[in-house]
Structure 1
Amino acid sequence: MTRTLAVVSAGIGRPSSTRLLADRLALATAAALGSDVDTQVVELREHGHDLVNHLVSGYPAAELELVLDLVARAAGLIVVTPTYAASFSGLFKTFVDVLDDEALVDKPVLLGATGGTGRHSLVLENAMRPLFTYLRAVVVPTSVFAAPEDWAGAAAPDLLAHRVERAAGQLAREISLRDAPVVPDPFDPPPLDRLLEYHPPGSR
């Protein structure tokens, strides 16, 4: 059975270190899971206007609805945000705000973040982990932060790779322990026998 791995990157620029980290985490997770993995990457910058419109109107555009459905149906989720003012980006939070209340319940999630200095690494534990715990996701123990120095220097790439592989292995294990989520289709009518069931007054 093919398992879907959703990867959400809130990077703004092109090229983006946030997207680069997201890709590294996705590749490592897919490798740890083995075959039959469908990795789907979402660039939030491409849905910025739709996110704001949805927040205001309460109705997602067609493309954004596909993204929200992807996240809800995915067996596992990787989320990576740049750091602004010691927290996740506004674009990233807007995306989380429009998710269905049940979309992340019991879903394995790997957290990642990027920033201009290693001092911003606390964003993972002080801001992101509490947020996803509140949403009842299963957040893996290892989160990954990448500062500019993590991409350069003799030992830096190896140290980052070690953190990426450890986090990816944890996410892969959590995904393997669960069945793929089943999201009911709101336009799929219930079976006829259920519609014909008799419920005495006051029994519901």
Structure 2
Amino acid sequence: MTAGEIVVVSAGVGTPSSSQLLGERLGQAAQRALVADGVRVELRHIELRTLASDLAHQLVTQVPSPALSDAYAALGRAVGVIVVSPVFNASYSGLFKQFFDLLDEGTMAGRPVLLAATGGTARHSLVIDTALLPLFHYLKASIAPLGVFAATADWGEASGHLAARIEAASRAFAELVAQRPGLPVADEFELDAGFTDLLRGS
């Protein structure tokens, strides 16, 4: 059995989306880091662009669609969450904010979260500290110490700086997941021996 799921929430609106791509790479790197520590996790990807009409409907009716209810439930079960938003007007996108505005209070409390964002230029890189960090502090999440911002130019660079930042941030996030899993209750799934040892600090 796996120890649980890491849920990747991306708010890109294009196809393909750099936010989705960054989320995929962060998720894969975190999964590799946890597997190396003896913790097996699965990845689940939630693309908010596919839920845009559902979010608008819930905002005015207060009734979530089955797809939204499923997405919210996935966050409530997750051993860790990776969030990625494109930068719109120096902050996260409205779609991203609406999704977390409608999430039940307390869902993110204590849950390990890796913050990431994408934008056209590096001048938007402070969005993680100025927008994402306050939001997830408010939601009482356990925030990984390293975030990742990817500008358009980062994807074509030959130096591998973005790859190195992804690996470093994912490793720090994986360590947080192992130390503070943010799980709902332990008996909802079977823990393997490696994960149990990590929780005990051995």
TM superposition score category, shorter chain reference: 0.7 to 0.9
Take 2:47 and 2:181, find their aligned partners in 1: how far apart are those partners?
A: 26
Partner of 1:195: none
Of residues 39, 43, 52, the one that matches 2:43 is 39
Equivalent residue number for residue 191 of structure 1:
none
Report the RMSD for the aligned CA atoms in angstroms. 1.2
What are structure 2's unaligned runs of at least 5 residues?
186-202
| Residue identity (%) | 45
Alpha-carbon distance, 1:154 to partner:
2.4
Could you say what secondary structure the match of 1:109 adopts? strand
1:182 corresponds to which of 181, 184, 197: 184
In the other structure, the counterpart of 2:163 is 161
| TM-score normalised by the chain length of structure 1 | 0.86
Q: Contact (CA 8 Å) 1:87, 1:123: kept in 2 or not? A: yes
**1:1-204, aligned counterparts within 5 Å?**
1-34=2-35, 35-155=39-159, 158-179=160-181, 181-182=183-184
SS at match of 1:151: helix
Instruction: Say whether the 8 Å CA contact 1:3–1:180 is kept in structure 2.
Output: no
Name the aligned partner's letter for residue 169 of structure 2: A
Query: Using CA pairs below 8 Å that are at least 6 residues apart, which structure has the higher relative contact order?
Result: 2
State how far apart, in whole Å, the 1-side matches of 2:6 and 2:156 are. 28
Equivalent residue pairs, number: 181
Q: How far apart are the structure 2 equivalents of 1:154 and 1:45? A: 30
> Where does the alignment leave 5 or more consecutive residues of structure 1 unmatched?
184-204
Distance 1:170 1:56 in 2: 39
Superposition misfits of 4+ residues, deviation over 3 angstroms: none
